[in-house]
Amino acid sequence: MHPAGPAAATIATLWWVLLAGATAIFLFVAGLLAWAWRRPPGEVAERPFVIGLGLAFPLTVLAALLAYGLVVGERLLPRGGADVVVVRAEARQWAWSFGYDDAPGRVTEDELHIPAGRPVDVALTSADVVHGFWVPRLAGKLDAVPGHVNVLRLEADAPGRYGGLGSEFNGVGYVGHRFTVIAHDATGWQAFLAGEGE
């Protein structure tokens, strides 16, 4: 609920919009039901009116929410660019290895280093079973699948440490399958790439 990056902020906004739409549908339909039940004895129910409104309003709201969700989902897709940092992530039971295109040969275990304020494309794969990659404050969840590469775009607004976790059940060690994302300022990022610090 405390997004620290543009993708997480977009997902949080989407969540609130969907909640508002679902609440509006629930309250409207509940109101129609209450209104239909409160007619005086002997009065004929206006079923076409109640049923029509009970279908038209929810369908309209659901269509609007679907359109909004599709637009937001499209905006969250990784789109390349000159300023994008590419990181390779490989999951295994129960650890993550991260390799950096800007620092060939550099690999970190259970710590993903990124520059703050720049988009990062994390290319996810798995050495054994399906693992879920999720940094709740920075981006949505995406699965790491054996023999396949999925790309997730994340970005941190400010330097700091952000918790990540394996969010896909894959055996008894799943609960402890966690990692840390360390977002560096520009100086710290250059030092990390040069191998001068963690």
Q: Could you say which DSSP state residue 146 is in?
A: B
Written as six digits, the tokens of 186 are 């520009």
Count structural domains, the chain. 2
Q: How many CB atoms lie within 10 A of CB 52?
A: 12
Q: What pLDDT shows up at residue 160?
A: 95
Q: Are residues 101 and 39 in the same domain?
A: no
Q: In terms of residue numbers, what domain contains 116?
A: 85-193
- Does residue 198 fall inside a structural domain? no
- Can you give the pLDDT at residue 47? 60
CATH number of the structural domain spanning residue 102: 2.60.40.420
Of 58, 76, 94, the residue at which a domain comes to its end is 76
Tens of pLDDT along 115-164?
999 999 999 999 999 999 999 999 989 999 999 999 999 999 999 999 99
Residues 174 and 108 in one domain: yes
CA dihedral 123, 157, 8, 93 (to 10 degrees): 40
Record the pTM. 0.80
Q: What is the pLDDT of residue 109?
A: 95
The burial of 7, by beta-carbon neighbours within 10 Å (0-12 exposed, 13-18 middle, 19 or more buried), is given as: buried
Q: Does one domain contain both 125 and 41?
A: no
How confident is the model at residue 116, as a pLDDT? Answer: 95
Last residue of one domain, picked from the residues 24, 52, 76:
76
Pick out the chain residues at pLDDT < 70: 1, 39-51, 197-198
**CB environment 132-143: b (16+ within 10 A), e (fewer):** bbbbbbbbbebb
User: Of 23, 45, 76, at which residue does a domain stop?
Assistant: 76
The type of residue at 117 is G
